[in-house]
Amino acid sequence: MNPDIVKERQNATFNVEKLTNILDGSPEKTRRRREIESMVLNDPDFQEQDPNFLSRSERYDQAVRKSAQMILKLREFGISDPDEIYYYKNCVHPDRPEPLDLHLGMFLPTLLNQATPEQMDRFFTPAWNLQIIGTYAQTEMGHGWWRCSQRASCSATTPTVLPALTSEDWRPQATFDPATQEFVLNSPTISSIKWWPGGLGKTSNHAIVLAQLHTQGNCHGLHAFIVPIRDMDTHVPLPGIVVGDIGPKFGFSEVDNGFLKLENVRIPLDNMLMKYAKVEPDGTYVKPPSAKLTYGTMVFIRSMIVGQSALALAKSCTIAIRYSAVRHQSELKPGEPEPQILNFQTQQHKLFPVLATAYAFTFVGQYMKQTYNRISGDIHEGDYSGLPELHALSAGLKAFTTWAANGAIEVCRMSCGGHGYSRSSALPDIYVEFTPTCTYEGENTVMMLQTARYLLKSYSQARGGQQLQGSVSYLSRLQPQPVSAGVPPLNIQDLASLVQVYQLRAANLVELAATSIQQELQLRHSQEDAWNSSAIDLVRASDAGLLSVPQALQVSAHIKELLIQLRPNAVALVDAFDLNDKKLNSVLGRYDGNVYEHLFEWARHSPLNASEVPPALTIIVIIKHNQLIGSFFPRSTSLSTST
Ligand SMILES: CCCCC/C=C\C/C=C\C/C=C\C/C=C\C/C=C\CC/C=C/C(=O)SCCNC(=O)CCNC(=O)[C@H](O)C(C)(C)COP(=O)(O)OP(=O)(O)OC[C@H]1O[C@@H](n2cnc3c(N)ncnc32)[C@H](O)[C@@H]1OP(=O)(O)O
Ligand SMILES: Cc1cc2nc3c(=O)[nH]c(=O)nc-3n(C[C@H](O)[C@H](O)[C@H](O)COP(=O)(O)OP(=O)(O)OC[C@H]3O[C@@H](n4cnc5c(N)ncnc54)[C@H](O)[C@@H]3O)c2cc1C
C-alpha cells in the first residue's frame, strides 16, 4: 500500500462504510451488490485480454463470448431483477457498451411496455431465453428525429412530385396489405436506411423497427414493428433485408452499430406492437390513448442515463483524486519535499466540484428512477396525466447531467497530466464511451428544447392563475423579477436560501424566453419561426445571474473554505463509491495507490514490445546496410528480397 494513500485514509473523519450504505440505499443492498460483483470478478469464464491491445474485430468477438457467458450465468444464478441484471452486466463489461445492450436495454423493455399478451408469449419469452436477439431501430441515415403523430402531408405515394411532400414521406414505411394480412416494409430512399442501432450489424436476428404506418390509404405516423432480420438457424440475413456494420467509431468498439435497408419485406399483421394503437384485419386503424406512448422506451433509457452520468463521474474522480494523492510535483517552499499534487488549491478546485457533482447526480439519478417507476406504474394503470412531466424531467435531466459529466470527465483526465492521456488510466475510455450519451436517446439540445416547451406551457398556466404541482410548482409561487428590482437576499451557508435563489433565477429565465417568443411572434407571425428565433433563450441559462458583485465574491471565498474542509476527506469520499479495482480497471486509480510499478508493468504488455525489433523495422536495417536513403522507394522491394 502506498504510504500517502494510507495516511489519507487515516486522516478521514467519517465512516466510509456507512456512506457506502447510504449511496447504495441500505447495508443489505451494499452486501448484495458486492455479492454480485464477486460472482463476476472471481469467475474465470469472464477473464479477458486487455481490449486496449486488441483489434476491433477481436474486441467484438471477446465481448460476444462474455455476453453469451453472462446470459448463461444470469440464468444459472436466477438473477432476473432488472437492477441486478444491470449491475451484473456492468461488472462483466466495465465501462464498455456491448453487443447485447440494445437487446437488454431497449428490445425487452419495448416489448414489456408495448406488446400484447399474445406478443409477449411469441416474442418476449424467446427473447428472454436469447433465442431471439433484438435491437431497437429508430434512427435513419438522414434523420434522428421523428414525429409520432400523423401530419397532413404524410403520403404513401412514390416520390414523383417532390415539392409537395415533406421529409416525413421519405421515411421507412409499413403499408398494410389486407389481402395477405401483412405489412410491407420499405426504405424508399438512401436517407431512410436505418443507421446506428446497436447490435444490428451482426448480432441481432430481430429488430423493433420504427416506421410510418399506412393503412386504407392513410398515414398514421410512427409505429413500432417487430421485423425478423436473420434466419433463426443459420443467422443469414433474410430476403429483402440488407444489413451490416457501419464501421469504426470514436468508441463503442465492442458494439456492431448497424445499417438496415428494407426491400419489400413482409411481416404478419400481428407483428405490429399493438398494446395501444391497433390495426384491424380489414385495415381499420384504432388510435392509441396517447401517441407519445410509442416513445416510452426512450423515456426509460433517458431516466437511466441520469444515473450513468453519476457513475461516470464517480469513476473519473476516484481515479483523479487517488492519483493526485500519490503524485508529487514541484516544491511549494524551496528545500521542502515536493507536495502531493492534491495539496495545490488549483487541483482541488478542478476535482472537488466534480466529486460534489458525482454525489449530487447519484441522488438525482435515484430520484429520476423513482419518478420513472411511479409515473410508469400510473401509465400501466391507465392514468397518463404524469406523462408530460416525466418526459420533460427525463429529457432535461438527461441533457443537463450528460453535458456536465462529459466536461468533467475531461477535467479529471487533464488533472492527471500526461498519464491521464494513457489508456492505462481508463479515463480516455470512460470519455469515449460516455460522450455519445449527449447525442443518443435524443440529442441534448433537442431534449432541452422539449423541456423548455413544457416549462413555457407551465409558465402560461401559472400566469393564468393555476396552482402548479410537482417540479414546476415554483412557477406558481414566485413572481419573476426584472434585473432592475435588485438582488435577492442570500445566505450562502443555507441550502434553503440557495434553492430559493435558483428557483427565482429559473423563473426569470422562463419569463425571458416567453417574452422573446412574444416579441418574435409580432415580427415573424409564425409560432414555429418565433420558437426557433428564441431557441438560445430557451436552451441556455442566461449569463446574468442573480447575484450582486459582493455576493459573488462571498461565494468565491466560501468555495476556498470548502476546499480546505474537504481536503482531509477527499480520498475517503471517493473510497465510499466502493469501485472495485477490477471494475475501475485504472492503473492511476488503484486502491493501493501503487501507480508507478503497475504503469511500467502495463506498458510492457504493449504488443509493440512483443519483439525487440518489430518486423516493420527490418526495412530500416536493410536501408542502413545498403546506404540507400534518398532513392530507396523504387528499389526497396528487390533489395529486401535479395538480402
Ligand atoms: C425486462 C427485462 C429488462 C432487463 C433490462 C435490465 C437491465 C438493463 C440492462 C442493460 C441495459 C444496458 C444498457 C442500456 C441500454 C442502452 C444504452 C446503450 C446504448 C444507447 C443506444 C441508443 C439508442 C437510441 O439512440 S434510440 C433512438 C433515440 N432517438 C431519439 O431519442 C429521437 C429523439 N426524438 C424525439 O424524441 C422526437 O422526435 C421529438 C424531438 C420529441 C419530437 O417529436 P414530436 O412528436 O415531433 O414532438 P413535438 O411536436 O415536439 O411535441 C409534441 C408533443 O409531444 C410531447 N412529447 C414528445 N416526446 C414525448 C415523450 N417521449 N413522452 C411524452 N411526451 C412527449 C411534447 O412535449 C409535445 O407536447 P405538447 O404538445 O403538450 O407540448
Ligand atoms: C453511439 C451511438 C449509438 C446509437 N444507438 C442507436 C440505437 O441503438 N438505435 C437508434 O435508433 N439510434 C441510435 N443512435 C442514434 C441516435 O439516437 C441519434 O444520433 C440521435 O438521436 C441524434 O440524432 P441525429 O444523429 O440525427 O442528430 P441531428 O438531429 O442531425 O443533430 C445534429 C445537430 O442538429 C441540431 N438540431 C437537430 N434538430 C434540431 C432542432 N429541432 N432544434 C435545434 N437544433 C436541432 C442538434 O442540436 C445537433 O447540434 C445511436 C447514436 C450513437 C452515437
Closest approach atom of ligand 1 to CA 453? 73
**214-263 pLDDT, tens per residue?**
999 999 999 999 999 999 999 999 999 999 999 999 999 999 999 999 99
Taking residues 592-604, what's their average pLDDT?
98
Q: Which of 391, 433, 460 to mutate to test the pocket of ligand 1 (most atoms within 8 A of CB)?
A: 391
Nearest-CA neighbor of 354 among 73, 639, 573? 573
Beta strands 206-215 and 173-177, pairing class: parallel
Determine the 3-state secondary structure of 1 from DSSP: coil
Q: Is the CB of 536 under 6 A from ligand 2?
A: no
Phi, psi of 220 (to 5 degrees): -115, 15
* Enclosing H/E stretch for 433: helix 427-434
Residues with Cβ within 8 Å of residue 266, at least 6 apart in sequence: 177, 180, 182, 183, 184, 185, 240
Ligand nearest to the CA of 251: 2
Cα distance between residue 238 and residue 212, in whole Å: 22
Q: In the chain, what are the domains?
A: 132-145+169-288 (2.40.110.10), 446-478+491-546 (no CATH)
Calpha distance 33→28 (Å, rounded): 9
Q: Is 418 annotated as a binding residue?
A: no
| Pairwise pLDDT comparison (483 vs 285), residue with the higher score | 285
Ranked by mean pLDDT, the top range of 335-344, 489-498, 518-527 is 335-344
- Mutate which of 98, 446, 537 for ligand 2? The one with the most ligand atoms within 8 Å of its CB, which is 446
Q: Which of 291, 155, 134, 149 shows the shortest CA–CA distance to 219? A: 155
Q: Is the pLDDT of residue 344 over 70?
A: yes
Position with higher pLDDT, 204 vs 166: 204
Cα 302 to averaged position of ligand 2 atoms, centre (Å): 14
What angle, 0 to 180 degrees and rounded to 10, lies between the N-to-C axes of helices 27-41 and 16-24?
Answer: 90
Model confidence band, residue 635 (pLDDT cutoffs 50, 70, 90): very low
Ligand 1 atom at minimum distance from 148 CA: 45
Q: Which of 84, 110, 148, 246 to mutate to test the pocket of ligand 1 (most atoms within 8 A of CB)?
A: 148
pLDDT of residue 160: 32
60 in helix, strand or coil? helix
Nearest CA to 7 out of 333, 231, 325, 460 is that of 325
Show the DSSP H helices in 464-489 as ranges.
474-477
The residue assigned the cell 449527449 is 438
Q: What is the pLDDT of residues 23-68, one digit of tens each?
A: 999 999 999 999 999 999 999 999 999 999 999 999 999 999 999 9
Q: Write the ipTM.
A: 0.98
**Residue 434 near ligand 2, beta carbon < 6 Å:** no
Looking from the CA of residue 441, the nearest atom of ligand 2 is 17
- Location of C-alpha cell 497530466: 417
Residue 144 pLDDT level (bands cut at 50, 70, 90) = confident
pLDDT at 484: 62
Q: How far apart are CA 402 and CA 391, in angstroms?
A: 16
Paired sense of beta strands 134-137 and 206-215, if any: parallel
* Nearest residue by C-alpha to atom 16 in ligand 1: 105
Q: What percent of the chain has pLDDT over 90?
A: 73
**Share of residues in the chain with pLDDT > 70 (%):** 92
Who's near 450: CB < 8 A, 6+ residues apart? Answer: 391, 392, 395, 396, 442
DSSP tally for the chain: helices H, then strands E: 24, 11
Q: Please state the rounded mean pLDDT for residues 473-499.
A: 79
Does ligand 2 come within 6 angstroms of the Cβ of 252? yes
- Ligand that comes closest to the CA of residue 89: 1
393-425: per-residue pLDDT in tens?
Answer: 999 999 999 999 999 999 999 999 999 999 999
433 is annotated as an active-site residue: no
Q: Are 94 and 426 in contact (CB under 8 A)?
A: no
CA of 436 to the centre of ligand 1 (A): 15
Find out whether 139 is annotated in a ligand binding site.
yes
For 202, the grid coordinates are 451482426
| Per-residue model confidence as pLDDT tens digits over 365-377 | 999 999 999 999 9
Alpha carbon distances (Å) from 175 to 15, 67, 414, 627: 63, 36, 53, 71
Question: What's the pLDDT at 623?
Answer: 77
C-beta of 269 in contact with ligand 1 (< 6 A): no
- In one-letter notation, the amino acid at residue 312 is A
The pLDDT value recorded for residue 511 is: 87
Q: What is the structure's pLDDT at 540?
A: 53
What is the phi-psi region of residue 407: left when phi exceeds 0, alpha when psi lies from -120 to 50, beta otherwise?
A: alpha
Count of CA atoms in the C-beta half-sphere (13 A) of 552: 7
Confidence of residue 150 (pLDDT cuts 50, 70, 90): low
Q: Looking at ligand 1, which atom is closest to the CA of residue 450?
A: 67
C-alpha cell at 585: 480497471
List Cβ neighbours of 191 (8 Å cut-off, separation of 6 or more): 140, 141, 142, 143, 170
Longest dimension (CA), the chain: 92
Does the pLDDT at position 149 exceed 80? no
Q: From ligand 1's centre to the CA of 33, what distance in Å?
A: 29
Catalytic residue among 37, 441, 511, 520: 441
Q: pLDDT band at 163, cuts 50/70/90?
A: very low
Query: Among 136-145, 475-484, 491-500, whose mean pLDDT is lowest?
Result: 475-484
Give the mean pLDDT of the chain. 90
Residue identifier of the C-alpha nearest atom 8 of ligand 2: 197
Res 156 pLDDT > 70: no
What pLDDT sits at residue 169? 63
